């Protein structure tokens, strides 16, 4: 692609984004500035990016962690994290999502004060680059809002300097009744400025002030930030809360066409710098809306599979997989050049909006009550009409799976491993939260100290306390890490677990959840079969339909499967990965 072709494409995207905005500069000039800001020159454009390329494979496993989830003494936490990765994750994890590691004022990093520096309490850019040297680095682009304590917002209050015109304001008399909110706090923040009283838009909290992307200087600032992160080693970008980026008063201000086009523009610029850099959109919204962020393989490379956590956890505590099965059958296969990002636990809670339309209101209510019984907290949102609805469940995944709707039982570890076995085999790239890898329980003390429900799943481990637990064969932490590591190593060796390998949902009743994967070269088949109940289950061999000319092996237990048997017996929460080839 020549400079002119790229310039014309960027200009066309800008013409769409700013069609209803009176710009202070022509889009031709803005396109040139954006291309130069990302660091592209004409000599960089000899070879255009190849469309529909998969820059991932079955070996990709992403660990999600805070920079200080594991600490030791006075050592910089990012240095401690790097040591932990090399000791405990060397043969399992190859990519690391370090949650916002910038100076911040609230929301555990997602209220960024300064996008260009590393939080001194965590370390420095050298520490980030050291991790990026050995692991694919995923970094957050907190693009919807920043901290009210940022220099940009201070300049907004003063009415001069960089950032003085970066923020979205509205009038309290505007019709804001349709605005979709993930919080119940007031939307507008009354702020006294040098230009009089302003009402600043705050989608999340009054410490998180929303940007006004109608101002092209905001877009230019973020392209400059992206360039910095690429220079520091970032290979994956997580666009945080991006669904709320563009606002138009009188609309719901979510998933607007301009938002999608901004993502496509960012994709255009990034893929010309390095086509292997992956954009992941974080859009905690109903499933049908979430899928639109793939675009036509020209928007996000990957989207968070937000419906998976509530559906999978509900499946395992209810002992019934019909909702999970129906959802999986409805999911379109991701075309080449795109893939799902699968996860079942994160630094946030188990989101319930992505379950809307998939679980009934009664099912969601029963699910919420079960999680509360297991020590979970509930965060609420304001729905249309002002009614409060549960937005997410705050609980560690390990404690969420301590039992069923009947109460806690002895199957906690097995149920927990079953959840991950299901997720690890699915189409897409797996993401595993550090506290899932460690089998961490609810942190009630941190909730009491912070007053924030999400703190329940954000424990900060002291490495000197954690290491003896990980090394003791009797601790839940050792059992979880050992069994998860084994599953991950098996998964990474199987071509049929490529994120874009064929997937087909099996019909094995409501207590057995199963699906079939086939490698891209069609040489390997894996039947993934899980007992999601607390009772032993029988699966008829004829229902799985294994090919009689092949030899079959359960990759998990390493046991050969006799085709002369009429059925398989699965213990409670047992998973089998039945394969015609073994690549381990």
Q: In whole angstroms, give the CA distance from residue 341 to residue 344.
A: 10
pLDDT 10s digits, 452-489: 999 999 999 999 999 999 999 999 999 999 999 999 99
8 Å CB contact between 320 and 367:
no
Distance CA 522, CA 581 (A): 11
Looking at the predicted structure, is the pLDDT value of residue 398 above 60?
Answer: yes
> Tens digit of pLDDT for each residue in 531-570?
999 999 999 988 998 877 778 999 999 999 988 888 899 9
Q: How many CB atoms lie within 10 A of CB 149?
A: 17
Q: If you average pLDDT over residues 186-203, what whole number do you get?
A: 97
496: which residues sit within 8 A by CB, 6+ positions away?
58, 517, 518, 519, 524, 525, 526, 579
Strand ranges in 487-550 using DSSP code E only, listed in sequence order: 502-505, 512-518, 525-531, 537-540
At 252 the pLDDT is: 95
| Rounded percentage of the chain residues whose pLDDT exceeds 70 | 99
Task: Write the CB contacts of 430 (distance below 8 Å, at least 6 apart in sequence).
Answer: 60, 61, 62, 342, 343, 423, 424, 491
Pull the structure tokens for residue 374.
Answer: 């297991």
Residues 6+ apart with CB under 8 A from 213: 17, 219, 245, 246, 258, 262
Q: What is the pLDDT of residue 197?
A: 98
Examine residue 539 and state whether it is found in any structural domain, yes or no: yes
| Global pTM value | 0.96
- Identify the pLDDT of residue 583: 76
Residue 183: its pLDDT value, please? 80
CATH number of the CATH domain containing 545: 2.60.40.1180
Please indicate whether residue 240 is annotated as part of the active site. Answer: yes
What's the CA gap between 101 and 13, in Å, rounded?
31
Question: How far is it, in rounded angstroms, from Cα 303 to Cα 309?
Answer: 14
Chain centre to alpha carbon of residue 472: 31
What does the buried/exposed string (b/e) look like for 372-399 if buried means 16 or more CB atoms within 10 Å of the residue's CB? eebbbbbbebbeeeeeeebbbbbbbbbb
145 assigned ligand-binding residue: yes
Evaluate if residue 98 carries a pLDDT over 70: yes
- Check residue 76 and report its DSSP letter: -
Give the Cα separation of 325 and 334 in Å (integer).
18
Whether the CB-CB separation of 30 and 17 falls below 8 Å is answered with no
CB 342 within 8 A of CB 303: no
The pLDDT assigned to 487 comes to 98
The contacts of residue 428 (CB under 8 Å, 6+ apart) are 302, 305, 334, 339, 340, 341, 342, 499
Average pLDDT over residues 328-357: 94
Q: Could you tell me the two tokens for 44? A: 């960089």
> Is 348 part of any known ligand binding site?
yes
Q: How many structural domains does the chain have? A: 1
3-state secondary structure at position 294: helix
Provide the mean pLDDT of the chain.
Answer: 95
* Tokens linked to 139: 């970094």
Do the beta carbons of residue 359 and residue 311 sit within 8 Å? yes
List pLDDT tens digits, range 299-332. Answer: 999 999 999 999 999 999 999 999 999 999 999 9
Kindly report the number of other CB atoms within 10 A of residue 417's CB atom. Answer: 23
- CA–CA distance, 518 with 205 (Å, rounded to integer): 46
Establish if 54 belongs to a structural domain.
no
Region 421-442: mean pLDDT is 98
Confidence of residue 385 (pLDDT cuts 50, 70, 90): low
Report yes or no: 99 and 111 within 8 Å, Cβ to Cβ.
no
pLDDT band, residue 384 (cuts 50/70/90) = low
* 210 annotated to bind ligand: no
What's the pLDDT at 56? Answer: 98
Instruction: Say how far residue 158 (Cα) sits from the centre of its chain.
Output: 37
347 labelled binding-site residue: yes
State yes or no: pLDDT of 17 exceeds 60.
yes
Report the distance separating Cα 501 and Cα 518, nearest Å.
6
pLDDT bracket for residue 198 (50, 70, 90)? very high
* pLDDT greater at residue 4 or residue 38: 38
pLDDT (average), residues 120-142: 98
**238 assigned to a ligand binding site:** yes
- Across 388-397, average pLDDT: 91
Could you read off the pLDDT of 153-180 as tens digits, one per residue? 999 999 999 999 999 999 999 999 999 8
Q: What is the DSSP string of 360-413?
A: -HHHHHHHHHHHHHTT-EEEEEE-TTS-EEEEEEE--HHHHTSEETTEE-TTHH
- Is 239 annotated among the ligand-binding residues? yes
Structure tokens at 279: 């954009």
Distance spanning both ends of the chain, measured CA to CA: 41
Q: Can you give the residue range of the structural domain that contains 519? A: 502-579
Mean pLDDT of 252-263: 98
Q: What is the DSSP letter of 519?
A: -
In a domain, 549, yes or no: yes
Q: Is the pLDDT of residue 1 over 60?
A: no
Is residue 121 one of the residues assigned to a domain?
no
Is 523 within the bounds of a domain?
A: yes
> Does some domain include residue 305?
no
**Of residues 549, 528, 276, 283, the one with CA closest to residue 426:** 528
Site of tokens 């109608």? 214
Residue 386 has a pLDDT of 66
Q: Which of 96-110, 205-219, 543-557 has the lowest mean pLDDT?
A: 543-557
Q: Of 300, 327, 247, 202, whose CA–CA distance to 21 is shortest?
A: 247
Q: Contact 434/63 with Cβ under 8 angstroms?
A: yes
Q: Is residue 551 part of a domain?
A: yes
By 3-state DSSP, what share of the chain in percent is helix, strand and coil, each rounded to 5? Answer: 35, 20, 45
492-536 pLDDT per residue, tens: 999 999 999 999 999 999 999 999 999 999 999 999 999 999 999
The single residue of 207, 240, 320, 399 carrying the catalytic annotation is 240
Q: What is the pLDDT of residue 3?
A: 83
Q: H or E stretch including 329? A: helix 322-330
Residue 353: pLDDT above 90? no
Question: What is the structure's pLDDT at 548?
Answer: 75
């Amino acid at each position: 692609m020549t400079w002119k072709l790229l310039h014309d494409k960027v200009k066309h995207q800008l013409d769409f984004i700013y069609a209803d905005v009176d710009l202070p500069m022509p889009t031709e000039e803005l396109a040139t500035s954006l291309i130069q800001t990302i660091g592209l020159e004409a000599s960089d454009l000899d070879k255009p990016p190849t469309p529909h390329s998969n820059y991932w494979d079955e070996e990709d496993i992403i660990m999600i962690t805070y920079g200080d989830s594991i600490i030791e003494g006075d050592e910089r936490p990012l240095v401690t994290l790097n040591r932990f990765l090399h000791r405990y994750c060397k043969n399992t994890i190859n990519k690391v999502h370090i949650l916002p590691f910038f100076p911040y004022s609230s929301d555990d990093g997602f209220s960024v004060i300064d996008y260009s520096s590393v939080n001194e309490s965590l370390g420095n850019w050298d520490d980030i680059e050291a991790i990026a040297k050995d692991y694919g680095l995923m970094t957050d682009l907190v693009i919807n809002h920043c901290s009210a304590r940022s220099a940009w917002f201070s300049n907004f209050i003063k009415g001069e300097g960089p950032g003085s015109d970066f923020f979205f304001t509205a009038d309290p008399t505007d019709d804001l009744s349709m605005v979709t909110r993930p919080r119940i706090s007031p939307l507008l923040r009354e702020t006294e400025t040098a230009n009089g009283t302003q009402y600043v838009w705050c989608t999340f909290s009054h410490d998180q002030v929303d940007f006004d992307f109608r101002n092209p200087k905001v877009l230019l600032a973020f392209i400059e930030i992206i360039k910095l992160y690429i220079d520091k080693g970032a290979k994956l970008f997580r666009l945080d809360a991006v669904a709320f980026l563009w606002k138009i008063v009188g609309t719901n201000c979510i998933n607007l066409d301009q938002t999608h086009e901004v993502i496509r523009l960012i994709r255009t610029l990034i893929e010309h710098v390095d086509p292997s850099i992956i954009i992941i959109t974080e859009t905690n919204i109903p499933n049908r809306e979430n899928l639109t962020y793939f675009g036509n393989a020209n928007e996000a490379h990957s989207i968070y599979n937000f419906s998976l956590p509530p559906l999978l956890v509900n499946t395992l505590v209810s002992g019934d997989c019909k909702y999970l099965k129906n959802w999986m059958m409805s999911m379109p296969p991701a075309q080449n050049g795109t893939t799902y990002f699968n996860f079942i636990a994160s630094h946030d809670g188990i989101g319930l909006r992505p379950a809307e339309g998939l679980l009934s209101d009664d099912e969601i209510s029963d699910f919420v009550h079960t999680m509360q019984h297991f020590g979970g907290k509930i965060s609420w949102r304001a729905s249309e009409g002002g009614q409060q609805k549960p937005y997410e469940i705050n609980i560690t995944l390990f404690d969420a799976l301590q039992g069923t709707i009947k109460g806690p039982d002895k199957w906690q570890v097995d149920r927990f491993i079953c959840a991950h076995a299901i997720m690890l085999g699915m189409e897409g790239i797996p993401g595993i939260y550090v506290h899932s890898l460690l089998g961490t329980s609810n942190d009630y003390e941190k909730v009491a100290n912070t007053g924030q429900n999400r703190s329940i799943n954000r424990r900060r481990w002291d490495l000197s306390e954690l290491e003896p637990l990980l090394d003791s064969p009797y601790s839940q932490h050792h059992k979880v890490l050992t069994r998860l590591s084994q599953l991950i190593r098996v998964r990474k060796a199987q071509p049929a677990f490529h994120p874009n390998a064929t997937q087909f949902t099996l019909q094995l009743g409501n207590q057995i959840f199963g699906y079939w994967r086939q490698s891209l070269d069609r040489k390997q088949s894996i039947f993934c079969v899980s007992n999601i109940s607390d009772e032993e289950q029988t699966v008829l061999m004829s229902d799985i339909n294994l090919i009689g000319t092949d030899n079959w092996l359960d990759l998990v237990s390493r046991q050969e499967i006799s085709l002369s048997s009429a059925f398989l017996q699965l213990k409670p929460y047992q998973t089998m990965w039945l394969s015609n080839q073994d690549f381990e």
